[in-house]
A and B are shown apart, each in its own frame.
Chain A
Amino acid sequence: MSALDWVVLLVYLVAVVAFGFWSGRGNRRIEDFFLAGRQMRWWAVGLSVMATQISAITFIGTTGQAYTDGMRFLVFYFGLPFAMVILCVTMVPFFYRARVFTAYEYLERRFDSRTRTLTSLLFLLSRGLSVGVTLYAPSLVLSVILGWSEPATILLMGGSTIVYVVYGGNKSVIWTDVVQMAIIWIGIFLCFGVAVAQLPPGFGLRDALALAQTSGRLKIMDTSRSLTTPYTLWSGLIGGLFLMLSYFGCDQSQVQRYLSGSSLTQSRLSLLFNAFLKVPMQFLILLTGVLVFVFYHFHPAPLLWNPVEMRKLESQAPAAELAAVHQRYVAAAARRQGSAEAWVRSRTPEAQAAYQAAAAELGAARGQAVKMVEAINHGARYNDTNYIFPSYILAHLPRGLAGLVIAVIFAAAMSTLSGEFNSLATATMVDFYQRFVSSSGSDARELLISRLFTALWGGFACLVALRAGQLGSAIEVVNRFGSYFYGSILGVFLLAVLTPRAAARGAFYGLMIGMAAVFAVSRYTAIHFLWYNVVGAVTVFVVGLVITAFSPDPPAARRSQARAAA
Chain B
Amino acid sequence: MSAKAPSPPADDERVPVFGTWPRIYAAVIVCALAVMALVAVFSAFPY
In the complex, which range does the number of interface residues on chain B fall in?
20 to 34
Residue of B nearest to A237 (CB): B36
Complex-state Cα separation, A440 to B40, whole angstroms: 57
Chain A interface (Cβ < 8 Å from any Cβ of B): 30-31, 71, 74, 78, 81-82, 84-85, 88-89, 96-101, 105, 206-207, 209-210, 213, 218-221, 263-266, 268-269, 272, 275-276, 279-280, 283, 429-430, 434-435, 439-441, 446
A169 shortest CB reach to chain B, Å: 14
Number of A-B contacts (CB under 8 A): 90
Write out the residue numbers on chain B whose beta carbons fall within 8 Å of the beta carbon of A84: 28
Task: Please classify the interface of chain A as helix (H, G, I), strand (E, B), loop, or mixed, using the class held by over half of its residues.
Answer: helix
On whether the beta carbons of B2 and A89 are closer than 8 Å, the reply is no
Complex-state Cα separation, A88 to B5, whole angstroms: 22
State whether A268 and B21 are in contact (beta carbons under 8 Å apart), knowing that A81-B29, A220-B39, A275-B28 are contacts in the complex: yes
Write out the residue numbers on chain B whose beta carbons fall within 8 Å of the beta carbon of A74: 39
On whether the beta carbons of B15 and A265 are closer than 8 Å, the reply is yes
State whether A209 and B47 are in contact (beta carbons under 8 Å apart), knowing that A269-B16, A272-B28 are contacts in the complex: yes
Complex-state Cα separation, A269 to B27, whole angstroms: 13
Residue of A nearest to B32 (CB): A81
B3 shortest CB reach to chain A, Å: 5
Chain B interface (Cβ < 8 Å from any Cβ of A): 1-5, 8-9, 11-16, 21, 24-25, 28-29, 31-32, 35-36, 39-40, 42-45, 47
State whether A210 and B29 are in contact (beta carbons under 8 Å apart), knowing that A279-B35, A430-B3 are contacts in the complex: no
Which of A78, A264, A276 lies in contact with B28, CB distance below 8 A?
A276
On whether the beta carbons of A220 and B40 are closer than 8 Å, the reply is yes
Complex-state Cα separation, A283 to B21, whole angstroms: 28
Which of A78, A85, A98 lies in contact with B25, CB distance below 8 A?
A85
On whether the beta carbons of B3 and A434 are closer than 8 Å, the reply is yes
State whether A82 and B9 are in contact (beta carbons under 8 Å apart), knowing that A88-B21, A220-B39, A220-B40 are contacts in the complex: no
Write out the residue numbers on chain A whose beta carbons fall within 8 Å of the beta carbon of B29: 81-82, 85
Complex-state Cα separation, A97 to B11, whole angstroms: 9
Write out the residue numbers on chain A whose beta carbons fall within 8 Å of the beta carbon of B36: 78, 279
